[in-house]
Amino acid sequence: MTYQLQTTKKSLKENYTDKSKIDYQKIRISHWDKCSTLKNPGRISAYYHKLLQHYYKLLIPKGLKILEIGCGHGDLLSSLKPCMGVGIDFSGQAIKNAYKKHPELIFIEADAHEIILKEKFDIIILSDLINDAWDVQTIFAMLKQMIHPKTRIIINFYNNLWRIPLGIAKGLGLGANTLEQNWFAPHDIFNLLYLSGFEVISHNPRILLPLYIPPLSGILNRYLVNLSFFNWFALTTFLVARPMPPAQTQSLKTYSVSVIIPARNEAGNIENIIKRVPNIGSETEIIFVEGNSSDNTYETIKQIISKFPDKNCSLYKQAGKGKGDAVRLGFEKAGGDILMILDADMTVPPEDLTRFYDTLVSGKGEFINGVRLVYPMENQAMRFLNILGNKFFSQAFSSLLSQSIKDTLCGTKVIWKKDYKQLTKNREYFGDFDPFGDFDLLFGAAKLNLKIAELPIRYRFRTYGDTNINRWQHGWLLLKMVIFAAKRIKFI
C-alpha cells in the first residue's frame, strides 16, 4: 500500500530493564513464532477464529481505518474490509505470513507496549491480546496517541471458567495453543479502561462451544449464550469502549440545530411550539413535516409561520405514512449540525431541548434519548397499561442493545448530523422496518457503537387533540420490534 506511517519503535532490551519482563516477552515471541509455522491450527482454533470474524463484522462497518494489535496472520483484519488496515504483532514469523496472505494491508513487527503510530484510527482491535500481555494498562495508555474522539476500542478476552477446558483441549491437540494467561473478569477490564481514560459502551458474552458440532454449535453459540444463566459460561467477552470526553472548557453555543417536528392533526399546538422552541446553539431552524392530517394542520402551520418572520421555520408535507417517514424527510432537509426530534403534541416541553443539546455537545452521549418513566407524570399523560408496556419493552431492548434503554418510544431524540449520515449508510442492515422512527434510530445508533445517553424529562398530558398511538396495535408492533432486534442484533 502507498500509506506512509511514522512509527516510534524501541527494542525490548532498550526499554525493559526488568529481566522478568524481558524473559516473559521472549518466551511468548518464541511460542507464537512456532505457532505461526503450524499448518494445522487445530479444530478449535479454526472454528473459534471463524466465529471471531463473524462477531467483529457485526460490530465494525466496512471502509474504516482499523488498527489491530496482536494481528497474527492478519485474517481478522482483512475480513473487515478496512479502507486502511494496519496490523501489529511481536511475532516476526506471524508478520511474514501476514504480508504473504494480505499484501493489501500494512503490517509492523513490534511489541504492543512500545509502539506509537503517528496516525489516528477509527477502530482499534485487541483480540485475545490482553490475556497474554505483560501490562495491560500500559497498552491502554499507549492507545491514547492513536485515537480521535470517535475512535472505538473493541476487545475480546477469555473467561476465567475456561482455564481448565482450554488446557484439556490443548493437551488433546485440538488447538488453544496458549501459554499461562492473565484471567480477567469483565470488571477488571472496565477498571483498567477507566484508569486509562476510556469509557465502556457495551459488552457481550459470546461462544459457548468453540468446536464445530452441528447443530449443537449453532444452538449454543447463537441462542443459549444470550440467556442470563448460560452467558456466565461464555468463552469470550466482546467489549466496546470509547475515549472519555474531555472536560468542557468552552461555550456550548457553537453548533447549529435543526428541530424536526412531525405534525399530524396538531393544529391547536403549532403557535405555542413556534413561540416556545428556544434559540439553541449558534442557529436554530424549525422544520415541520405535516403527515396528511384530517384537520387543517398544514394550513395552520403555513399561516402561523408567516406570523413569525424572525423564526427560521420551514414546512414540508410527507408523501409516505408514519412518523418514521416524516422524521427521515425532516432530517434530509435539515441543515444543522445537530438533529432533534420534538413531538407536536407538546407532551415534552420544547424548553427541555436545551438540556438535550448540552448533553450531546458535552460529549456525555452521542445519541440522546428522552425518558418519560422516571419522574411522576401529569394526570392522564400516560395510561397505566401503557406504562407497564413501556417498562417491559425497556427491559427487553436494554438487553438486546447492551445499553440502558429505559424508554424506547419517547419522541424526543437527538443525534449529530454526521452520525446520522453514517447511520443511513448502514440502514440496509435493518431495512425499512419501523413506522415509528424510534427504532430505526436506536438500532442504528447501537449498531454504530454510539454512546446512548438517557435524559429524564417530565412528561405532560396533551392539551389538544387525541393521541395517534393505538395501545394494542402499536403494542403488537413493539413486540415484533423485539423479535426483529433479537434476530438482527443479539441471536446472530
- Of the candidates 238, 242, 243, 241, the one whose C-alpha atom is nearest the C-alpha of residue 76 is 238
C-alpha dihedral sign at 320, 323, 325, 331: positive
The reported pLDDT for the residue numbered 14 is 46
Asked if pLDDT for residue 172 goes beyond 90, the answer is no
Main-chain dihedrals φ then ψ at residue 265, nearest 5 degrees:
60, 50
Q: What is the pTM of this model?
A: 0.86
**What pLDDT, on the 0 to 100 scale, is given for residue 16?**
45
Residue pair 234/161 in contact (Cβ under 8 Å)? The answer is no
Specify the pairing of strand 312-317 against strand 367-371: unpaired
What integer best gives the mean pLDDT of the chain?
A: 87
CA gap 310, 3 in Å, rounded: 50
Most confident of 77-86, 185-194, 402-411: 77-86
pLDDT at residue 284 in the model: 97
Q: Which of 2.60.40.10, 3.40.50.620, 3.90.550.10, 3.30.2310.20 is the CATH number of 256-490? A: 3.90.550.10
Q: Mean of the pLDDT values across residues 202-212?
A: 93
- pLDDT-derived band at 411 (thresholds 50, 70, 90) equals confident
Chain position carrying cell 504483532: 89
The domain spans of the chain are 7-243, 256-490
- The rounded distance, in Å, linking the Cα atoms of 63 and 375 is 43
Determine the pLDDT at residue 1.
41
Q: Residue 130: what pLDDT?
A: 93
Looking at residue 253, its pLDDT comes to 58
Alpha carbon distance 406, 414 (integer Å): 16
Q: What is the pLDDT of residues 30-41, one digit of tens each?
A: 989 988 887 776
- Is residue 95 within 8 A of residue 77, CB to CB? The reply is no
- Report percent pLDDT > 70 for the chain: 88
Length of the chain: 492
Q: Does 470 have pLDDT greater than 60?
A: no
Asked if the model's pLDDT at residue 211 lies above 80, the reply is yes
- 256-490: same fold as 7-243? no
Write the pLDDT tens digit of every residue in 415-446. 999 999 999 988 888 877 777 788 889 999 99
pLDDT at 101: 96
Three-state SS for the chain is: CCCCCCEECCCHHHHCCCHHHHHHHHHHHHHHHHHCCCCCCCHHHHHHHHHHHHHHHHHCCCCCEEEEECCCCCHHHHHCCCCEEEEEECCHHHHHHHHHHCCCCEEEECCCCCCEECCCEEEEEEECCCCCCCCHHHHHHHHHHHEEEEEEEEEEEECHHHHHHHHHHHHCCCCCCCCCCCCCCHHHHHHHHHHCCEEEEEEEEECCCCCCCCCHHHHHHHHHHHCCCHHHHCCEEEEEEEECCCCCCCCCCCCEEEEEEEECCCHHHHHHHHHHCCCCCCEEEEEEEECCCCCCHHHHHHHHHHHCCCCEEEEEECCCCCHHHHHHHHHHHCCCCEEEECCCCCCCCHHHHHHHHHHHHCCCCCEEEEECCCCCCCCCCCCHHHHHHHHHHHHHHHHHHCCCCCCCCCCCEEEEHHHHHHHHHCHHHCCCCCCCCHHHHHHHHHHCCCCEEEEECCCCCCCCCCCCCCHHHHHHHHHHHHHHHHHHHHCC
> Does CATH place domain 7-243 in 3.40.50.150?
yes
Of 216-220, 319-323, 430-434, 486-490, the poorest mean pLDDT is in 430-434
Bridge partners of residue 152, in order along the sequence: 123
- Of residues 343 and 467, more confidence is placed in 343
Measured distance CA(137)–CA(92) in Å, rounded: 24
422: left (phi over 0), alpha (psi -120 to 50) or beta: alpha
User: What would the mean pLDDT of 123-129 be, rounded to a whole number?
Assistant: 96
pLDDT score, position 471: 55
